């Protein structure tokens, strides 16, 4: 699936269309972040690469984020680790997407949502691999990922021992080793397997 996203899905919809995507379902810590993006003009010349954020380099994503923020209506929102533990990661992702769309200063008629389900309070259409098909979703995926990576880099300054600036909270071997060595803090998702295991071990040893 290498084709670049375009506006064909947006053009099938009536009225103002937002694209929505989230970043950070898989990490052991930090928030799950969602973004929503509306292109008011679809005949605009886009001078940067906008596609699935996972297929872009860090410098391409940074350039794309700057252009998207300057040329679209966008909003970003998140769900905290505590909310993720309370709701579970799927519903927390849905909640973050609803918050992002609610944060747009223009209300879309329909939201194209990356994945196979639409949050219950959104009028939308689920698009599997949406970030490879829709420019609005691809733009949202870039904003969500860049915002979350920034948050994790920011937190890494306070907690340098976990390497969050490099692993973004994902369960790499080095991250899991640091977790076992230093234990968890309030930014960890206690309902996630490896974190739960460490908590259980701590309880067993007390």
| Cβ proximity of 198 and 180 under 8 Å | yes
Using 50, 70 and 90 to split pLDDT, how confident is the model at 206? Answer: low
Supply the pTM of this predicted model. Answer: 0.95
Note the pLDDT tens digit of each residue in 137-165. Answer: 999 999 999 999 999 999 999 999 999 99
Note the pLDDT tens digit of each residue in 87-119. Answer: 999 999 999 999 999 999 999 999 999 999 999
First to last CA, the chain: 51
Residue 1: predicted pLDDT: 46
Mean pLDDT of the chain: 95
Domains in the chain, ordered, with CATH?
Answer: 8-158 (3.30.420.10)
Chain centroid offset of residue 201 CA: 31
3-state secondary structure of 123: coil
The neighbour count for residue 40, using CB atoms within 10 Å, is 10
Residue 203: predicted pLDDT: 78
Residue 196: predicted pLDDT: 94
Strands 73-79, 32-38: pairing kind = antiparallel
H or E stretch at 81: helix 81-87
């Amino acid at each position: 699936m290498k084709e670049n996203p375009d506006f064909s899905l947006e053009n099938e919809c009536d009225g103002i269309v937002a694209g929505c995507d989230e970043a950070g379902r898989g990490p052991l810590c930090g928030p799950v972040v969602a973004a929503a993006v509306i292109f008011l003009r679809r005949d605009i010349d886009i001078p940067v690469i906008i596609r699935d954020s996972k297929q872009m380099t860090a410098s391409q994503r940074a350039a794309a984020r700057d252009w998207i923020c300057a040329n679209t209506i966008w909003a970003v929102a998140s769900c905290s680790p505590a909310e993720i533990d309370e709701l579970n990661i799927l519903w927390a992702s849905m909640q973050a997407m609803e918050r992002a769309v609610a944060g747009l200063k223009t209300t879309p008629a329909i939201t194209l949502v990356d994945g196979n389900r639409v949050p219950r309070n959104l009028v939308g259409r689920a698009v599997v691999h949406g970030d490879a098909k829709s420019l609005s979703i691809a733009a949202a995926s870039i904003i969500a990922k860049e915002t979350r990576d920034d948050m994790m880099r920011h937190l890494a300054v306070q907690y340098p021992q976990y390497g969050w600036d490099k692993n973004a909270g994902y369960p790499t071997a080095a991250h899991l080793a640091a977790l076992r060595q230093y234990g968890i803090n309030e930014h960890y998702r206690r309902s996630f397997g490896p974190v739960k295991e460490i908590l259980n071990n701590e309880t067993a040893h007390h």
